[in-house]
Structures are given as C-alpha cells and as structure tokens.
Chain A
Amino acid sequence: MVGSKTLGQAVFWLCCASAWASPQYVGGTACKTCHPNITVDFYRNPHYQSVASGKEKPEDTGCEGCHGPASDHVTAKGDKTKIGAYSAMTPKKVLDSCLRCHAESLGRASIRRSSHSQAQIACNSCHSIHKARSAKYLLASTEQRNLCYGCHGNVRAQFALPSKHRVNEGFMTCSDCHNPHGATAPGTGMGGRPRMMQTALGNEEPCMKCHTDKRGPFTFEHAAGRVDGCSACHVPHGTANAKMLKRPAVFTTCLECHNGLGDFGRQGDGVKLTPSSHNMSDPRFRNCTTCHVRIHGSNSDQRFLR
C-alpha cells in the first residue's frame, strides 16, 4: 500500500516536472501584448479561420498553432530563441511546420520532391503570413511574377522580349503553367522536362488549357507536339521570333527535323524529307505553313494541307 502511494507520488511529481520543463500553450491573448501590430487586423488573414472556429486544439490554432507553445517565450520576455521563429528555421523545418495543415491540397502533394524544395526554397521564401502583399495566397509581393523573377532573372529577360506570353501585362501568371509546389506528373519530355509544370486533362501540357484548338485529337497528329511537347518548336516564355518559334524563320524550324535522316522518328521511316518539288531556292517553299496550314493536326490530310 505504501509502495503504491509512493509510486503514485513519484508519477505525479514526474509529470509536474515534465510539464514544468516543456513550454506550455498560453493562448493568443498573451501575444497581443507585445505584437499588437500583427494581431490588430489578423482577422483579415486566412489563418484567422482557425481562431474563428473556436473548436481547434491549442496546437492547431492562433499564433501558437504555427509558432508553438509560447510560455517560455513569454517568461523570457520575448526571447526569440524560445519560440518557433521561422526566420531561424531550416527550410525543411519550415516545410514540416506548414505542411501540418497545408498538405491537404492536392496541388502540394509532390512538394517534397519539387525543384524548389531541393533548392531549399521553403514556404516563407514566397509567402508572407504577416506582411503579405496579396490577399490571395498571402504572397510577399503584389504580383506573383515579381517573386519568381527574384530568382529566375533569365526568365524575366525572356518575358521582356517582343513575342511572349502576357505575364508582365497581368493577363497570365507563372502558376497558370507551373506548379511552384511541385508537379504531380513528369513532363512530357524524356528528361522529366519541362519541370514544375501544371497539367491539363490527362497529364497533358498546360498549353492545352488555353490553346484548346491545338489539343485534338486529330486523325493526323503532328507527332512533334505529342512526343516532345510544344517546346519542340516553340519557346514558351518569350523570344524575339514571331509566333514564339525557336528560329526566326519557319523553314529552318521545320528543316532542322525534316532532314530525312532515318535514325530518327519512327524506326525505319525517319523524319520525312521535303519532296523534290520543294525547291528551297524559291521563297514560296520557305513559308512552310502557308500550305501546311494545319501543322498542329489535321483530320483531312496527313500532310496538314487542310
């Protein structure tokens, strides 16, 4: 009897000591004292939903839902090392913390293997919870493109060219074509490229979401688009060339593949050579799509003439 009483007391004191040692949840009221600038209009933040609910557990709501229990932080009069400060976390810690709730989205299902995660670009590299400049998605900039350009200066240079998708004009955003949280499917190309892509129906290239007339199916498909993707002929971000082609002239775009070499294309057949009637000295035959008007696919003519 004495032994069990002693054991009970020991367990009680151990629990108390353990509770004393680990920080406790103190509730959001304590945070308001020192961080009024953050809490005063926090109702505008989508994270306020967990507070408004009133049903969440302390570790899933309010300031401590993200930053962890704050008792030590309060006791230490705001010591940054006693609270989960995202500026001091490794990218993986940030990812782990945010994904506790935000893994719910299918669009983030592949975030662990995304190029951004592998480059140590974590959530707070683009999103700002307390200083967001965009209401939607809490981005750290009013325009999504500015965040992307911050690292992808080479892409920014391509969008400054005359023939480009209208991203700088505000008609499109980078995430119309890319999934910054990681693609759910590999690219259509062999090297898993292009990467970080959104997909249209049936894991198609995102180009088909807008360019619906190129989707088909057609009786006669230009296999270039289906096998290697639209970037076989086009530069998707921007270029100086018309129609965002890889070359300034149509005929070189076509002839670089259609050189008749049997090693490529369907085995034993090759990528077809132009017929002998196509005299390249004649300018008429250098405007390939003037006759091959249905170059993306045709139902009536395997040479895409109609």
Chain B
Amino acid sequence: MRTTILWLTATLALHAQPTIAPTDEKVGEARGQNIGNYNLVQSWELGYRFHSVGGNEGKYRSDVNYGNGIRLLGSRFSMKSKEGHGSLFDEMTLSTQGLGNDPYEYANLRIAKNRLYRYDMIWRSNEYFNPALAISGGQHGMDTVHRLQDHDFTLLPQSKVRFFAGFSRALQQGPALTTTNLFDGVRGDEFALFANVHRRQNEFRFGNEIRAFGMRLNWMQVFEQYREETPLSLGAPSAGANATDRTRLTSYGSTEPYQGTTPSFRLSLFRERGERWAVNGRFTYSSGNRDFTFSEAAIGVNRFGAAQNRQIAVGGNARRPVTTGNLTLSLFPTTNLTITNHTAYHLTKMEGRSTYTEINNSTLDLTTVNFRYLGIRNISNVTDAHFQIRPWLALRGGYQFSAREIKSVEQVIIEGFPGENRSQQSNRLHAGTAGLRVKPLKTMLLAVDGELGRQDRPFYPTSEKNYEGYSARLQWRPGPFSLSALARVANNSNTTTLFAHSAKSRQYGADASWNPRDWFSLDAGYAKLHAGTVTGLGYFQAAALVTGQQSIFLSNLHSSHLGAHVSLRERIDLYAGFTLSRDAGDPNRSIGTVPAAFAAVQVFPMNFDSPLARLSVKITPKIRWNVGYQYYRYREDLLAVQNYRAHTGYTSVLWTF
C-alpha cells in the first residue's frame, strides 16, 4: 500500500505544463461544511486576465487566444450525502473552467442518487480563430465559436435492468472567409468570399441494458440530425487572385441548405467476470442520409474577356449505411495465460446522386446526373496471447489478418450519353506482434514491443505497406523519484514500380519527477521526435509532366519542459516552469532535384517557447490571492510574418470552504 501511495504521489508530480490559470487548489485535505445530511465543498476562483501581443496577433489567437477581462477562472462544488440516503440526490458535483469569456470554457455536472438515477452533463465552448495564412494566404480565415454539450441520464444505474437516455448538441457559428473558383474549372480564377458559418447537430439516444445468466445485453438507438446553412457572398467586385488574368467577378451569391439524419442502432452482448472466459459481441448499423440543394449565381467576365452570367443549381441526396460487427473472445486457461481473439467486420456503402444544371448567359448549357458509389468492406481477425511466466517476467504475442475490398461506381449521365466507370481493389494485411515485460525490481517495469506488417496493395502511396515498429518503455519509481523513458522506431516502405514512399520515425524521451517533501516537487522531461519521409512526385510544370522527383520532409523536434513547485510554511505556493519546442529541421539534408518551392518546405524550422510562473498566497484559511505570468514566443523561418511574442497574465482570488 505504501508503495502504491508513493507511486501515486510520484505520478501526481508529473504535471503537464499547465495553462497559466486556473490555480491549482492548495487547500488541504479535510474541509467542507455539513448542512443537514450533506457535506459541501466549494472553491471559486474569480480573476482578471490580461495579455499583450507583439507580432502577428492572428497567429497568437490561433495558437493561444487568451484575452483580457474578468473570468470565473475555475470552480469546484460538491455536495454529498453523508449516509448515502439523500432526499433528491446523494451526490452533486460541478466543476467549471474559464467561464466569462475565456476561449476555452468548460462545465461538468453530475447529479446522482444511489440505485435510482445518475445524470452527467458536459458543456464546453471553443472560440476558434485561424488566420489561415499558411494555408490559403489568409483567404480562409475563421472566427467561429464551437459549442458542444452532452447529457446522459441513467435510470436504475446499479440494477440488473438499466435504462439510458441522452442528448448531445454541437453548434458552430461565426464569420469566415472562403474562396471560389469561377468561369473555368481548371484555369479559372479564385475570388475571396464571405461565409456566415452556421452548423448545428442534435443527437438523441435511448437504450437499455439487461443482465441475465451472467451476460449483459445492451442496446442503444440514436437519432442524429444535422443542418447547415452557410451562405456565401461577395463584398465588392473583384479582379480575383490572378492579376495576369482578365477574369472578373462583379456579382456573386450562393447558398446550400443541407440537412439530414443518421439513425443508428447498437446492440452489444458481453460477459466479463474474470473467470475462465469472457466474451464481447457488438453489432451496429447506421443509415446516414443528407438532402441538399445548391444555388449559385455569378456575373462577371471570363479569362477571354467574354461577359459571364452563370447560374448553377444542384439538388440531390447522399446516403451512407454502415454495418459493423465485432466479436471478442477471451480465454483464461490458467491464471497466468490470457488469450483473446477478435473478429471485426466493417461495411460502409456511400452512394449519392446529384443533378447538376448550369445555365450560362440565359442558355441551358449542361445538365448532368452524377451518381457515385463507394463501398469499403474490411474484415479483421486478431489473436493476442499474454503469458506471465514469472511474477517478474511476461511475454506477449499476436497475429492480425485483415482483408479489405473497395468498390466504386461512377456514373455521369449527360443527356443521351450515359457513361459508367466501375473499379475495385482488394488489399490484405498480415501483421505479427511480440513483446516482453520485465520487472527486475518491484519499482521498475521494462516493456519491449515489436510489430511487423505486410500489405499487398495499400490504397495510397503514403499508406503503410511493408512496415515495422519497435518500442521500449521503462518506468522506475523508487520512492519520491520517478523516471519514465521511451524509445520508439517505426519504418514504412511503400515501394512500387515507379514511385516509392519511405517513412521513418524515431522517438526518444524521458520524464523524471522528484517529490521529496510535501512542500517541494520538481519535474523535467525531454523528447525528441524525428520524422523523415521521401515520396515520389508526379506533377505538371508549364504543361510538361515531371516525374522522378521526390518530396522530402524532415522534422527534428526537440521538446523539453521543467517545472518546480515550492510551498513555504503552507502559506505561499510558487510554481515556475517552462516548455521549449524546437524543430531544428536538417540543414545537411539532401535537397534533390526539386524546384525551390518544394525544397523550401522540406523542413520547417520553428521555435515555440513558453515559460510561466505562478504565485499563490494564503490570506485567510479560506481565501488565497493568486497571480501568474506566462510568456509565449513563436518563431518560424518559412513564413516569418506569423512570428509573435505574447505576454499573458492573471490575478485572482480563490475562495474555498
């Protein structure tokens, strides 16, 4: 027990670099107020955030996004029945973060009464800002709010017959920028547009679980509804992105009302008693359906200077039924041996029909009916065995076989000229895994794993084909000291007659923490993530096909962190730490014969550093005053206009009782 506590204590010290607020609670163990049959524990942290940015504020908002203003930085509230027999509930817990106007807001509520019901709610909001400078030259910027909520209610949670009901909602809305290509699909010009993003998803679900004969039967019916209306508009007449082109757009408007539902059903049958065997079976079926219409009206001039007055109308629907089944059988022939076999079946069928009508200069130019079918069927079987040879030594091994079939039908019906294109592809994978677990000391665990896989026909040039991966982990936790180390190598070679894709990644890292006293802890870590890929290229340059070149990408990421926590006489808490992330690239790389534009993005030298300090002072037994400061520095070589430095801080009062 003591060892476990020491391990846990050591784990606690392995803090991630925290965001600057809210403050970690330092309020001692036993507290709270007894009111009737309940015990109440609360903490509320109210404060003010401030920030100052030098450099690219858009990039800062994309990466960090903390602003100015008063916030309820964090709160925790719990109310628990002392005898487990409350009148309406036995437990109520609420925790929040960032309420007020932080870019990342979160609330979590649980209300439960033993044996009768349990209700869980999660609400969160993410203020998403992206200037998209590196993607489309800033033409796809977004400033939206994404709000998510999940409600789950369980009736009779501890009984043999349980009932479930739930509701989830996702809402994204806000202004954005986008682009459109007009008047010639492959040689047209791009025009910047405004978009008013509005996406809404609702999900309703209900189900039941029955326990009988040592088995559990669980089913759930879900109805998902999705609706999107994102009208696009042109602010002012535009000459487009291509200055050398005569294409102009004087008027534009488009909208695509898009909605549908995805009812789905899940049936699970499982038994897990830790005896001689366990089984887990699952079947799911969902039938997604979306209806849409699209209307676009554009007036302008094409690249030959001819006046354009074009309307496009599209209507149709898309369906995607998905059927899956899984069966896992676990056997425990002896107390030291576990064998599991898992079989999975996954069938996705996508089919859509859209009628496209283009009216150009008041003339009906083209009406087509597009039909597309894409079917993916995947069958997998995995067998794993784990054998505990000695209390300090265990072996594991496994084998996986997967077979995938992909079929597609594309059909374009132009009046009087129906055409059909059918194709299919099959792919098989054989993979084996092996591992070793050694516990030379009671406080030390060493795990070594390997995997070797072979596929005959992967779908993409960058997919895994002939791959192998090896990893080793060490965990050593002697007393207040804790060390965790990792080394991992993964190689993939996807070679064909013309092109080859080769990917190699190596990851090394170690994290250590030292927690000798309650009032002092120190943690530090370093990770090196190396990735290198070489992929065959085929593209056009001045209408000439270029082959034989390679796309190279090299990343040498060094990430380190250090944090120290000191408490002085249980009155003052000080935390100071930093995180440094640096991609050094590889200045000695072989660039090859690619053009400068390709060579420039073979590496991405970048620094992202963030030191922080936080001070918390106990004013009274129930009140603390906190202040914190965090600095961010971002610098890259590829698009230096994105660089920034930011000072962020907060001061707050934490009230606990």
Chain A interface (Cβ < 8 Å from any Cβ of B): 40-41, 43-44, 46, 48-49, 51-53, 80, 85-87, 90, 92, 95-97, 99-100, 103-104, 106, 108-113, 117-120, 124, 128, 131, 133, 135-136, 140-143, 145-147, 149-154, 156-163, 166, 168-172, 184-186, 188-192, 201-204, 209-210, 212-213, 215-221, 223-224, 226-228, 232, 240-243, 246-252, 255-257, 259-261, 263-269, 271, 273-281, 283-284, 286-287, 289-291, 293, 299-300, 302-303, 305-306
State whether the Cβ of B140 lies closer than 8 Å to any Cβ in chain A.
yes
In the complex, what's the smallest C-beta–C-beta distance from B377 to chain A, in angstroms?
11
Task: Name B290's contact: one of A117, A153, A218 (CB within 8 Å).
Answer: A218
Interface-central residue, B14, B16, B445, B467, by most chain A CB under 10 Å: B16
Is B186's CB under 8 angstroms from A278's CB?
A: yes
Name B1's contact: one of A85, A142, A266 (CB within 8 Å).
A85
Q: Which of A142, A202, A228 is within 8 Å of B460, CB to CB?
A: A228
Contact A306 B527 (CB under 8 A): no
Closest chain A residue to B469 by CB distance?
Answer: A191
Are B185's CB and A259's CB within 8 A?
no
Closest 10 CB pairs of A and B: A52-B84, A219-B352, A217-B320, A157-B559, A202-B286, A103-B272, A202-B322, A259-B538, A87-B4, A96-B274
Among residues of A, the one whose C-beta sits closest to the C-beta of B164 is A106
The answer for the CA separation of A141 and B537 in the assembled complex, in Å, is 48
Binds A, one of B503-511, B616-624, B649-657: B503-511
* Complex: A290 Cα to B404 Cα, angstroms: 33
Q: Which of B511-552 contact A (CB under 8 A)?
A: 511, 525, 527, 529, 533, 535-543, 545-547, 551
A151-B475, A162-B581 known; 18 other A-B pairs, CB under 8 Å?
Answer: A104-B216, A113-B340, A118-B435, A128-B8, A131-B8, A135-B78, A143-B16, A163-B62, A185-B324, A220-B372, A227-B460, A240-B608, A252-B601, A266-B406, A267-B425, A279-B541, A286-B597, A299-B294
Check B613 for interface membership: any CB of A closer than 8 A.
Answer: no
- In the assembled complex, B360 has its CB within 8 A of some CB on chain A: no
Say yes or no: A112-B278 contact (C-beta < 8 A), given A185-B326, A202-B322, A242-B132. Answer: yes
Query: CB distance A124 to B460 under 8 Å?
Result: no
Residues of A within 8 A of B16 (CB): 143, 145-146, 149, 156, 159, 168
Residues in chain A near residue B370, CB distance under 8 A: 219-220, 302
The answer to whether residues A252 and B551 also contact, given A185-B324, A218-B318, A259-B461 and a CB cut-off of 8 A, is yes
Complex Cα–Cα for A164 and B285 (A): 32
* B484 and A157 form a contact (CB under 8 A): no
Q: A281 contacts which chain B residues (CB < 8 A)?
A: 541-542, 595, 597
Q: B447-468, CB under 8 A of A: which get 1 and which 0?
A: 1010101010111111110010
CA distance A241 to B583 in the complex (A): 11
Q: How far is the CA of A168 from the CA of B529 in the complex (A)?
A: 19
- Chain B residues, CB < 8 A from A251: 597
- Cβ-defined partner of B597 (8 Å) among A158, A210, A280: A280
Q: A112-B330, A260-B538, A269-B423 are in contact. Are A216 and B437 (CB under 8 A)?
A: no
In this complex, how many residues of chain B approach chain A with their Cβ under 8 Å: the count is 221
| Cβ distance A94 to chain B, nearest Cβ, rounded Å | 10
The 0/1 profile, CB within 8 Å of A marked 1, for residues 370-387 of chain B is 101010101010101010
Give every chain A residue within 8 A of B555 (Cβ-Cβ): 240
Asked if A240 and B11 sit within 8 Å, CB to CB, the answer is no
Contact at B598–A252, with CB atoms within 8 Å?
Answer: yes
B76-93 interface code vs A (CB 8 A; 1 in, 0 out) = 001011111100001101
- List of B residues within 8 angstroms of A92 by Cβ: 335-336, 338, 388
**Contact of B143 with A by CB under 8 A:** no
User: Which chain B residues border A104 with CB–CB below 8 Å?
Assistant: 211, 216
- Given the known interface contacts A240-B636, A257-B461, A267-B424, the answer about A290 and B179 at a Cβ–Cβ threshold of 8 Å is yes
Q: Any chain A CB within 8 A of the CB of B126?
A: yes
**Quick one: CB contact mask for B208-248 with A, threshold 8 Å, 1 for yes?**
01010000101000101010100000000000011000000
Contact between A151 and B561 (Cβ–Cβ < 8 Å)? Answer: no
Complex CA distance for A216 and B336, rounded to whole angstroms: 46
Q: Which A residues lie within 8 Å of B457 (CB)?
A: 263
**Which residues of B lie under 8 Å from residue A142 when comparing CB positions?**
24-25
> For the complex, what is the distance from the CA of A263 to the CA of B458, rounded to whole Å?
9
A26 to B601 Cα, complex, angstroms = 70
Output the least CB separation between B393 and chain A (Å): 11
Among B124, B376, B601, the one with the most A-chain Cβ atoms within 10 Å of its Cβ is B601
The proximity string for B residues 309-343 relative to A, scoring 1 for CB distances below 8 Å and 0 otherwise, is: 00010101111101010101010000110101010
Residues in chain B near residue A213, CB distance under 8 A:
172, 199, 228
B67 at the interface (CB under 8 A from A): no
The answer to whether A52 and B85 have CB atoms under 8 Å apart is yes
Q: A277 and B344: CB pair below 8 A?
A: no
Specify which chain A residues have a CB less than 8 angstroms from the CB of B525 in the assembled complex. 153, 156
Distance between Cα atoms of A190 and B80 in the complex (Å) = 47
* Chain B residues positioned under 8 Å from A261 (CB to CB): 461, 496, 498-499, 536, 538
- How far, in angstroms, from A227 to B425 measured CA to CA in the complex? 12
**Cβ contacts under 8 Å, A255 to chain B:** 537-539, 551
B42 interfacial contact with A, CB 8 Å: no
Residues of A within 8 A of B110 (CB): 136
Picked from A113, A162, A218, A241, the residue with its CB within 8 Å of the CB of B328 is: A113
Which B residue sits closest to A153, measured CB to CB?
Answer: B509
Q: Indicate whether B427 reaches chain A with its CB closer than 8 angstroms.
A: yes
Nearest-Cβ distance from residue A274 to partner chain B, whole angstroms: 6
B527 touches A250 (CB 8 A): no
| Minimum distance in angstroms from B78 CB to a CB of chain A | 6
Identify B80's interface contact among A43, A100, A169, CB under 8 A.
A43
- Once the chains bind, are B178 and A232 in contact (CB under 8 Å)? no
B158 touches A119 (CB 8 A): no
- Please determine whether A43 and B84 come into contact, CB atoms closer than 8 angstroms: yes
Residues of chain B within 8 A (CB-CB) of A252 are 551, 553, 598, 601
By the criterion CB–CB under 8 Å, are A119 and B179 in contact?
no
| B218 and A106 form a contact (CB under 8 A) | yes
Cross-interface CB contact of A186 among B342, B425, B543, cutoff 8 Å: B342
Residues of B close to A243: CB separation below 8 A: 130, 132, 135
Bound complex: CA of A277 vs CA of B280, how far in Å?
54
Q: Residue of A at shortest CB range from B30?
A: A41
Residue of B nearest to A235 (CB): B531
Q: Which residues of A contact B350 (CB under 8 A)?
A: 216-218, 221, 226
Q: A113-B342, A268-B423, A274-B539 are in contact. Are A100 and B136 (CB under 8 A)?
A: no
Whether B459 lies near A264 (C-beta < 8 A) is: yes
Specify which chain B residues have a CB less than 8 angstroms from the CB of A274 in the assembled complex. Answer: 539-540
Name A170's closest neighbour in chain B (CB-CB).
Answer: B97
Which residues on A sit within 8 Å (CB–CB) of B17? 160, 168
Residues B135 and A153 in contact, CB atoms below 8 Å apart: no
- Taking the complex as formed, is B292 at the interface, i.e. its CB lies under 8 A from any CB of chain A? yes
Nearest-CB residue, chain A, relative to B211: A104
**Cα A56 to Cα B436 with chains together (Å):** 41
Query: How many angstroms from the CA of A53 to the CA of B146 in the assembled complex?
Result: 42
Bound: A256/B335 CA distance, A:
49
**In contact, B318 and A216 (Cβ under 8 angstroms):** yes
Interface residues in B38-72 by Cβ distance below 8 A to A read 39, 59, 62-63
Are B140's CB and A289's CB within 8 A? yes
B233 CB to closest chain A CB, in angstroms?
14
| Chain A residue contacts of B431, Cβ below 8 A | 191-192
Chain A neighbourhood of B242, CB < 8 A: 284
CA separation between A224 and B357, bound complex, in Å?
28
CB distance from B284 to the nearest CB of A (A): 6
B638 CB–A CB distance under 8 Å: yes
A293-B553 in contact (CB<8A): no
Cβ–Cβ contact A190 & B273, under 8 A: no
Q: Smallest distance from the beta carbon of A149 to chain B beta carbons, Å?
A: 5
Min distance, Cβ A192 to any Cβ of chain B, angstroms? 6
Verify if B148 is at the interface (C-beta below 8 Å from A): yes
Q: Give the residue of A203, A221, A232, A259 whose beta carbon is less than 8 angstroms from that of B539.
A: A259
Q: How far is the CB of A273 from chain B (nearest CB, A)?
A: 6
Set of chain B residues within 8 Å of A171, measured between Cβ atoms: 104-106, 124, 126
Question: Would you call B135 and A287 a contact (CB within 8 A)?
Answer: yes
